[in-house]
Structure 1
Amino acid sequence: MSESVPGEEAQMQAMVTRWQTLKKQAEGGEFRLDEEIGKQLSDHAERMRSAVQRMVDTAGDLQHLAGFGTLSSAEDLRAKFALKADKGNDSAVKRLQQSVEVATLMRDTYKLAIGKLTESDQSAADRLAQLNMGDS
């Protein structure tokens, strides 16, 4: 069984950091999206998050392995495979949970980005309405 590719953990952490930064920018109104595009992106991120969460919910079952035999080397193999499924540093469950975190950040960021755009559009519309009322 192959071990973790060097840098995978760093890549995942970089993705989390990038989306945390984008979320802060969306909160501050620096990152904005068209409402329809943002809604579609948010909906897609939610579908991804839900699908990966279902994988997390079932991946823990992969640690219950049988059929390796009674030799001590077989037991060692069984234990190694069980750790790859759950509770190990590089387990499938851990990787999937990190993906859920990224998808959640994506979804929330898109929602914030369209919210700020909508706020900005509403504010501009209100200012225009006030100007038009002054002309009458």
Structure 2
Amino acid sequence: MSETDQSEMQGMLTRWQTLKKQAEDGELRMDTDIGTALAAHATRMRDQLDTMVTNATRLAFLSGFGELESAKALQGKFAQKANNGEDSAVKRLKQSIDIVSLMKDTYELAIGKIAESDQSAADKLAGLRMGDS
């Protein structure tokens, strides 16, 4: 992964960590229907990424390169690119899974805070009505 790509991934991860913290603190709130739809989409994205990780892991077992030493070296490079290498597809996909998981958690926290806020307001109104009687 290029340094720019790594920086972008880290930036996205940091941004979603910040948004999750804001949701935990009640600073980020979201409509329940929208948040639920976004969380469901994030779940679908994670499922797709999990499938991609499985497929990329299988690419570590390449064949058909021949018996030449250069072919074996090339086979090893492709296998590392798929899995276990510093810049492997599996590593990048797992970073994406981390971000999508943060997104899902953030959406769920943001809609939870609205639900808590709505319940708190309803309880206060109920208390005021009880006092008026």
The residue correspondences of 1:21-60 to structure 2 (distance < 5 A) are: 21-60=18-57
Structure 1: distance between partners of 2:47 and 2:62:
26
- Give the number of equivalent residue pairs: 133
Structure 2: distance between partners of 1:93 and 1:118:
37
Structure 2: distance between partners of 1:102 and 1:5:
18
Tell me the residue number matched to 1:115: 112
Q: Which runs of 4+ in 1 moved over 2 A?
A: none
Q: TM-score scaled to structure 2, two decimals?
A: 0.96
The residue correspondences of 1:26-105 to structure 2 (distance < 5 A) are: 26-105=23-102
CA drift at 1:32 = 0.6
Superposed CA deviations along residues 103-126 of structure 1, whole A, max 9, x for unmatched, are 110101100100011001110111
Structure 1: unaligned runs, 5 residues or longer: none
Tell me the residue number matched to 1:106: 103
CA drift at 1:135 = 1.5
Structure 2: unaligned runs, 5 residues or longer: none
CA drift at 1:58 = 2.3
Q: TM-score scaled to structure 1, two decimals?
A: 0.94
SS of equivalent residue, structure 1 residue 132: helix
Structure 1: distance between partners of 2:47 and 2:17:
20
Amino acid in the other structure paired with 1:29: G
- Paired-residue identity, %: 59
SS of equivalent residue, structure 2 residue 59: helix
Structure 2: distance between partners of 1:51 and 1:60:
14
Structure 1: distance between partners of 2:54 and 2:60:
12
Structure 1: distance between partners of 2:41 and 2:56:
22
CA drift at 1:76 = 1.1
